[in-house]
Each structure stands twice: as C-alpha cells, then as structure tokens.
Structure 1
Amino acid sequence: MSKHYLITILLLFSAFSLSSKTYFIAIDGDDSNSGTKTSPFATLKKAHSIASAGDSVLIRGGTYKITEGQIMRYSDNGLWAYVFDMHKSGSGESNRIYYGGYGSERPIFDLSEVKPEGNRVIVFYVSGSFLHFENFEVVGTQVTIIGHTQSECFRNEGGNHNIYENLAMHDGMAIGFYLVNGADNLVVNCDAYNNYDYLSDGGVGGNVDGFGGHPKNQESTGNVFRACRAWYNSDDGFDLINAHAAYTIENCWAFYNGYQPGTFERAGNGAGFKSGGYGMSEFPDPPEKIPMHVVRNCLAYYNLNQGFYSNHHLGGIRWENNTGYQNPSNFNMLNRKSVDEAVNVPGYEHILKNNVSHDFRRTGHISNVNKGLCEISNNSFLPNEIPVTDNDFISLDPSELTRSRKSDGSLPDIGFLKPRPKSTLSTARMGYTFKTKYEVP
C-alpha cells in the first residue's frame, strides 16, 4: 500500500468519525433543545427522528413515564401500537446506531399509562438493522384486549445484526423479547421477569413468555439468546415454537415460569425452555427443512411443567451441557410423529450430550425419548444412569439465581448447582457450568 493511499484512507476515516454525533435524553429535557448533554431532549421519539448511522443516543438515568401521545406509529391494520418505531438502520458492524443508558445510570421506561383501547402494545418495534440497545429497563407494559392477544416489550421484525444487551423487561403484562423476522441478532445479558397478563383469555397468562424466538422464514438464521434469565413469566421462560430457522440458546437460566409472579399459583404452560414444535393441529405450517435448535450450557429450575422440552418437534434438537433440577420433568423429548400425523411419539433425532438431571417433581429425569433414534452420550441419566446427590454441588440455594448482575451486565457468580471440584460431574465435564468454546451454527 502506498504512503499516499494510506494517508487518504486515514483522512477519510477521520472525517467519518467526526461526522458521528451523540445526542442526550433526560427526564428534565425538552424536545426543543439541541440534544447535547447540557441541553438534552425529553423523548426517544425526538432523538430517533434525527439519529443516523454511527450516532449514539445516551439516555440519562431516571424513570420516563411514557404517555399514549408518544406512540410513534400504529400498524396499517390498526391492531398494533408501536410506541417506539425503530425503523432507522446503521450501516455496518462498526457504524451502528446506539441507544443506551448513560454510563452507570440506568434509565427506566414506564409504560403503565400506555393503554390504547383495542391495540396490542409493542414498546420497541425494531425493523432497522445494525442497532445496539443497552443498559435500560422496560416496565409496566400493558394489555388492554380481553380476548386472545399479546403485548411485547421488544419485537425484532425484519432487523438484522442487532444487539440487545443488558436490558430488563419486567413487572408488566407483556412478553419480554419477541423475534419474528431477521438474521444474526444477539440478545445477551438480558432479564425478563414478573410478567403476567391477568386480563386476556380469562387471566391465565398463557401468552407471556420471557423470550420468544419465532423466525417466520428460513433465511432468519444466526439468532442467539445468550446469558439471559427468565423467571416468574406466566407462560414459558424461552419459547421457540413455529420457528422456521434454527435458533441458539446458550448460558441461559429459566426458573419459576408458569406461575403468577411471587407465588406458586399456576398460570400458563410453564416450560423453562420450550424448544421447538409447530403445534398439534391437523394442518401445521412447518418449513420444508425442520431446523435443529441448539440449547446448551443452560439451567432449568422449578418451572411449572417442563425443564427442557422439545414441544412436539418434528425433528431433533441439540441439547448439550444443560442442568435440570426440580422440574416435574427435567428433560422431556416429546416429538410429533410427522407433518401428516398429529400423534405424540417418543423423541427422535435428538442429540443429548453432557446433561445433568438432579431430582424431579413428577415424571422423571428424562421422558419421552426413543434412545435408538437419538445420539446420546455422557449424561447423568443416559445411556447409563450416574447417581447424583446433593453433595455433588457447591450449593442448592436457589436464591442465588436472582442475584444482581455484575457491573458489565454479565451473570452473577453463583454456586447453585455448580459441580464441586473433583466430583463425578466435574470430572465428566457435565452440566451447565462446564466452560468450553462453542461454535455458533
């Protein structure tokens, strides 16, 4: 490379860097301000209207009481209210649009007063790509429809290469995160908890999952839930039903799902990781190629019904280094016989490696599995049962699961269900705490 060419590249990069802007939002701001730190905007709607690729929108701490007047758009069919319609895109991995809490400050978007009559509410409707959302909370998201419905805190609808990091969606009536379309999106270090729809469908709460991955086309690949926690969501912790492309769930925890928050009063389905399936109707709508989802290095504790559940899937799922404890069934591999036959059969084509089951409440360590049609090795339950006792773990105190995250948003260090050094489980490298390098499909 010539010296002249190198100088030209550096000058272009310098000019590009200088073109990026930073805007601020604060609870005492005003949308007529200039958007600087000392003259911040008041609303995300205003900051979004002028942000472009490479820009950052920094949100000062405090609680932002969102009003219906801030709803940015309604869907063409009049059903959905998109509170924040995030349709703008960055232009690449290093030129994203960033929306995040300022420094160590942790802003909260309170949606408790947003109750548009007859509308499903989506707080962040994301159709843009190369976006990064980080370090804030969404609380109080509402449901206003009495019949069958759902609201969502985040919905990825067509956006690609987005990052959702260190976010919390809690104490509302909505699903925490919901992906419909889009590829290579990462949801990392996020929490969804205490979410319960007590209004629609008779108040069962059966449409409120912590995290939902439901890509509608086979091109929506590379999506990942990583190091996320889901607890006290009135339906499932993580749900991949009707997914047309493979999803990866890794290093995640699911506990107390299927209950009304703070109680053990039953609500919805209550699987920790509902990891596939297309329902049991006569005419399901699966893709031509059934995806093999990956669930690895995860923990499922005391969910209402299942720990790890294949949910009538039409093919296999890869289950690696997971630990189930005190679920009615820690591992349930139930499959549907075929597209044409709505019949439950023992699970086939699953890959089960290095998994641990300790204590169960009803059905067993593992249920509904056809051992001859699966690839099974080095689990505590199959192919040969390995006795697991309380003494194999550093701690069995579940209160550790809700400890605060570290300052960088990563999961807390806990001893709960972590194998003791030199224990049989540790030596065999089993369970969700075993660290290894995984290749993302």
Structure 2
Amino acid sequence: MHKILVFIVTLITTFSFALHKKDAPNKHLYYALAADFVVSTPQELTNALSAITAGGTIFIREGSYVFTSRISISKSGTSVNLISILPHPDNTGRAKLDFSSMAENSSNRAITLSGSFWHIKGIDIFGAGDNGLFIGGSNNLIEFCTFSECKDSGLQIGSGGSNNTILNCDSFNNADSAVENADGFACKLDAGTGNKFIGCRAWQNLDDGWDGYIRGADNITTTFTNCWAFKNGYLKNGTIGGGDGNGFKTGGSDDKLLKHNAIYKNCLAVGNVFDGFDHNSNRGNVELYNCGAYGNGKNISFSSSNIANTLTVKNSISLSGTSSDSFSATTTNITNNSWQNGLIANAADFVSLDINLLSSPRKVDGSLPDIDFMKLVPDSDLIDKGVDVGLSYNGIAPDLGAFESITLGIDNFMFEQAIFNYPNPFSTETHVVFHTKATTTITISIYNLMGVNVFNTTKKTYPAGKNSIILHRNKLASGNYLLVLEGNSNQRTSRLITIQ
C-alpha cells in the first residue's frame, strides 16, 4: 500500500504540471484543470492560497519564506480534484516556511488546515509559535514535509479531522520554552477516525514522538505503517527535557475511560527516554505487527491500571529495554515474538544497532532510507519465526521485526517492461498489455487518487510472455486513477484516465 500511495502522489504531480509544459509528452492525454500558480515569495503564496480553486496547484519554488502571521486554509478540493501545494519541478532545494519570528502562543499555529482534499508536498515548516501544521479537515494528503523547532507538536490532527494521510514526513526538535511539551506528531484530543501515518519519523521531540491522548473523541482508530520514533524526550542539544519521552503514546484521557484504537505495522520505537509503545490508560484496542523496540526505558508498556480492551502483539522484537515489558489487557493475543518460543534476541541477531542511522537522509522520492539498523543477519534465529498477519514476507514464514531479511526489489518482479493501456483516456473500454518472465498469478486493481480501491479482478494465472486484457469502464466516474498489477512479491503501476 505504501508503494501505491507514493505512485498516486507522483501521478498527481505529473498530471498537474504537464498542463503547463509546452513540450509535455503525451499532452493530449491531459484535460484542463483549474488555474495553477507559481510562487516564490510569502505574499505570492498567500495570494495563491486565496485564489486557488478545486483542481488547482500551487508550485512553490525553493528558498526561505519568512512569515510574521499565521496561514489559515479553509477552502476544499474534491475527491477527484484535489488542491495541491507542490515543489516546483525545477527546484534543486526545498522551500522552507519560517515562522520563528512569531511569539510562542497557543494561537500562533503556523498553518491551520480546516479544508479537505488538499495535497501538500515537499515543504519544511520551521519555528512555529505553536503547531507547525494543525489539520482539522479530512481526506488530506501531507507528503514529504518536515516540522521542526515548533513550540508545540510539529503536526497535529484535531477538530474532527479524519481520514488524513501523513506520508513520508519528519518531525523533530520540537519543544516549548517551559521544556515540558511538544510532540513530533499528534493525532489527539478531538481528532476524528481513520487517520494514517505512513513512512514517518519523529525524533528528539521534547514530549512524545506520537501522542494519541484524547479529549472530546472516543473509539477512534489511527494506523501507523513503517513509522520510526526515536530519541524522544531529549532536547536538540541531547539533554533530557521535562516531557514524557515516549515513542508512541497510544492513547489516554482525562477520565481514563476513552478508547483510541491503534494499529502499528513495521514500526520502530528506539532509544526513547520512557516507553517505546506506551499504554497511558488507553482503554481501546491496540495491535502491533512486526514492530521493533530497542533501548527504551520500557520497550512495550501496557499496565494493569485502567486496562486496555485488547492487546495484540505478533512477530515483534523487544531488545535491551531498561525495565521489563508489560502486556496487560482484558483480552490479549501475544504470539511469535522475540521473547517467546524459546527465542532470545540479542545484538548478534542484527547487522547494526546504531541509532544514528535512523536519521539518515531520505531517498529522493521521500521514502525512508535503506539502512542496516535492526536488519537481521543471515543466520539469525529470528528469521522465519513469525506468523502470517497479512503483511508481505519472504521464505516459509515472516521474520520477526520490522524488516524482512530478504527483500525483493521492484527489478526482481515478473514484468519485463512497464504495463500500459490504450486508449488512454478511454470512455468505454481500454486494453491493458503487460509482459511476464514466467507463468504468474496476478490480481488487477484500480485505485482513485486518494488510495481507495474501486475495482478488483479475481486472481488469475497468466503465461510467460505478452498478455492482454480488456477493462470495461462500467460505472467508473470520469477522472484519474491508478492501475495496479500485483503478484506474490511485488507490484507494477500505470495510470488511467476516464472521460465521458
């Protein structure tokens, strides 16, 4: 799903900018959207935000943008016509929005996004007097952004904000002057449900990496995939602050009765001052699949006070915590972990335990860096000791921890060349053509630009060589879509455009 989302946001960027390139290849494939803007000053950005309409894009040039006042965004796009803020394609650096001249005050959030269906990509938000970005709207996509040295949580979701996706973002060195508050990311208080964090990192935030404390909401669900929380509770200078210092605070509430359901997949909690995965009297359902916790005060902490409803922990690793882990809940399902079935995890199981690797630069597309941290050595007894939890794996069973010991890259997948479909755009039907190296079972799916699956074929086995199928439009609405061909170990993607 992570690869699908990365392709979707790349696709949105390509569609929007191609309309404005005179030499754009295949420009006959694109249909006109709302007016776009290119900005290079704070005032130009403010003006563009006022004038932009659904389907439009603001291309922001690299450089420093100094703001002395807040930015409020209340207008909305639609599910098929997002409003976008994207890096200008000619950029070689990033755009930094600097709010450090604003006083520390709870009213001085840098950007408040109460609108919905926005895509914001590739900007750095720095030095806000409160939150760097506060999201109260829904169905927004925030991609490859950073939030640093803000006086409260770098990015916070609240005011009923739901179904937002935070993709490949970093939040670090956020702290208030009282040295007791500011998280990396916070989906808390009166947040809505269905929010997702994918490929995000939070480090050296004064309070928590992620805070899920709720007040005014109940029984919401937040999902975390491939997220890393490390060194939280430390200040930028490396000293311990006065905050809580948890990696992932799963929930909590004033009356200790509210439920914040949380699902963690392939996540890491490392070197945080207090807990790696923290209960905090959350009364909801918490699930950890293929996660890793190393060197926290307590790696996994679910206490017997104000007990969680359910706790599921599978295929996970707990290593070198200062205190013993605890796994209390009304119902527990804890199997196939590094402390069970006669297994003992130790440093010899891993290629590296150098925490500093976790803050390595991201790849050009914004995805997490390829590092050796907590990757299993070839002879580790943690390989193939997991149980199938619905995540992809190699070998006879999943490995324990966040990383599979043998990862098949996209170049190892079965397609000899990119898939394509014609005609494109199409109004009634389109032919999908692809090549396979060997006889392969494939599922064909279509997603809209928000990552929602709108069509699936049943699995079918295709022979080696060139294959072709016909897709009928049926009731598919006009717009842009992502075509995904998926086999046993990887996937290929292409784009579709339907018209009346």
**Equivalent of 2:150 in 172, 178, 181:** 172
CA contact (8 A) 2:257 2:283 kept: no
Q: 1:352 to 1:403 in 2, by over 3 A?
A: same
**By how many angstroms is 1:385 displaced?**
5.1
Q: Describe the SS at the equivalent of 1:49.
A: helix
Deviation at 1:46, TM superposition (A): 0.6
Q: Deviations over 1:352-394 (max 9, x none)?
A: 1111011112x12x22536x83111101124x45211211111
Once the two structures are TM-superposed, the CA of residue 18 in structure 1 deviates from its matched residue by 2.1
**Counterparts in 2 of 1:223-372, with a 5 A limit?**
223-242=195-214, 244=218, 245-279=220-254, 283-284=255-256, 286=258, 290-334=259-303, 336-337=305-306, 349-361=310-322, 363-364=323-324, 366-369=325-328
Q: Does 1:433 align with 2:403?
A: yes
For residue 6 of structure 1, what is the aligned residue in structure 2?
none
Give SS of 1:399's match: helix
What residue is the counterpart of 1:387 in the other structure?
344
Report the AA paired with residue 240 of structure 2: E
Paired with 1:335 and 1:312, the residues of 2 have a C-alpha distance of: 9
Partner Cα distance (2:29, 2:88) in 1: 25
Contact 2:180/2:241, CA 8 A, preserved across alignment: no
Structure 1's 329 and 110: CA in aligned 2 closer, same or farther, altered over 3 A?
same
The answer as to whether partners of 1:237 and 1:257 remain within 8 angstroms in 2 is yes
Contact (CA 8 Å) 1:311, 1:335: kept in 2 or not?
no
- After superposition, the Cα gap between the structure-2 partners of 1:152 and 1:258, relative to the gap in structure 1 and judged at 3 Å, is same
Inter-partner Cα distance in structure 1 for 2:194 and 2:244:
27
CA distance, structure 1, for counterparts of residue 379 and residue 29 of structure 2: 56
Match of 1:86 among 73, 76, 91: 73
State the SS of the aligned residue for 1:43. helix
User: Which of 416, 419, 434 in structure 1 is aligned with 2:376?
Assistant: 419
Percent sequence identity is 31
**Deviation (angstroms), 1:269:** 0.1
Give, in angstroms, the shift of residue 174 of structure 1.
Answer: 2.6
- 1:113-145 deviation digits (Å, cap 9, x = unpaired): 1228x6521111111111000001011112xxx
Distance across 2 between alignment mates of 1:386 and 1:293: 27
SS across alignment from 1:417: coil
- Aligned ranges for residues 175-254 of structure 1 at < 5 Å? 175-180=153-158, 181-198=160-177, 203-206=178-181, 208-214=182-188, 216=190, 220-242=192-214, 244=218, 245-254=220-229
- After superposition, the Cα gap between the structure-2 partners of 1:404 and 1:16, relative to the gap in structure 1 and judged at 3 Å, is closer
Between the aligned partners of 1:54 and 1:375, the Cα distance in structure 2 is: 46
- Rounded Cα–Cα distance in structure 1 between residues aligned with 2:51 and 2:29: 20
Distance across 1 between alignment mates of 2:351 and 2:110: 40
Name the amino acid aligned to 1:113.
S
Q: 2: distance between equivalents of 1:332 and 1:319?
A: 12
For structure 1, which runs of at least 5 residues remain unmatched after alignment? 1-13, 28-40, 72-82, 143-150, 338-344
* 1:132 has 2:146 as partner: no
Match of 2:102 among 111, 114, 139: 114
Cα distance in 2 for residues equivalent to 1:176 and 1:58: 23
Q: Is the Cα–Cα contact under 8 Å of residues 266 and 304 in structure 1 kept in the other structure?
A: no
Q: 1:356 to 1:284 in 2, by over 3 A?
A: closer
Mapped to 2, the partners of 1:65 and 1:421 lie a distance apart of 50
- Measure the CA separation in 2 of the matches of 1:125 and 1:250: 25
1:264 offset after TM fit, Å?
3.0
CA distance in 1, matches of 2:110, 2:226: 26
Cα displacement string for residues 52-103 of structure 1 (whole angstroms, at most 9, x for unaligned residues): 0010001111001112xxx3xxxxxxxxxxx1111111122x3100012212
Q: Match of 1:85, SS?
A: strand
Q: Give the AA of the match of 1:63.
A: S
SS of residue matched to 1:391: helix
Secondary structure of the equivalent of 2:32?
helix
TM-score where L is the length of structure 2: 0.68
8 Å contact from structure 2 (residues 212, 251) kept in 1: yes
Give how far 1:20 is off: 2.2
Give the whole-Å Cα distance in 2 for the aligned partners of 1:15 and 1:413.
Answer: 35
Secondary structure of 1:187's counterpart equals strand
**Aligned twin of 1:26:** 40
In 1, Cα distance between the equivalents of 2:299 and 2:200?
A: 19
Runs of 4+ off more than 4 Å:
none
Q: Secondary structure at the match of 2:109?
A: strand
Q: Distance in 1 between matches of 2:209 and 2:362?
A: 18
Distance 2:64 2:342 in 1: 52
CA gap of 1:214–1:385, structure 2 versus 1, over 3 A, is: farther
User: How far apart, CA to CA, are the structure 1 residues paired with 2:345 and 2:173?
Assistant: 32
Measure the CA separation in 2 of the matches of 1:274 and 1:153.
Answer: 20
Contact 1:335 1:348 in 2 (8 A): no
In the TM superposition, what is the alpha-carbon distance from 1:215 to its structure 2 partner?
A: 6.1
Structure 2 residue runs of 5 or longer lacking an equivalent are: 1-27, 386-398, 409-450, 453-500
- Would the aligned equivalents of 2:96 and 2:126 in 1 still touch at CA under 8 Å? yes
Tell me if structure 1 keeps the 8 A contact 2:72–2:112: yes
What secondary structure is seen at the aligned counterpart in 2 of 1:45? Answer: helix
Work out the number of aligned pairs and report it: 363
Instruction: Provide the alpha-carbon RMSD of the alignment.
Output: 2.5
Amino acid at match of 1:376: I
Does the residue aligned with 1:257 lie in a helix, a strand or coil?
coil
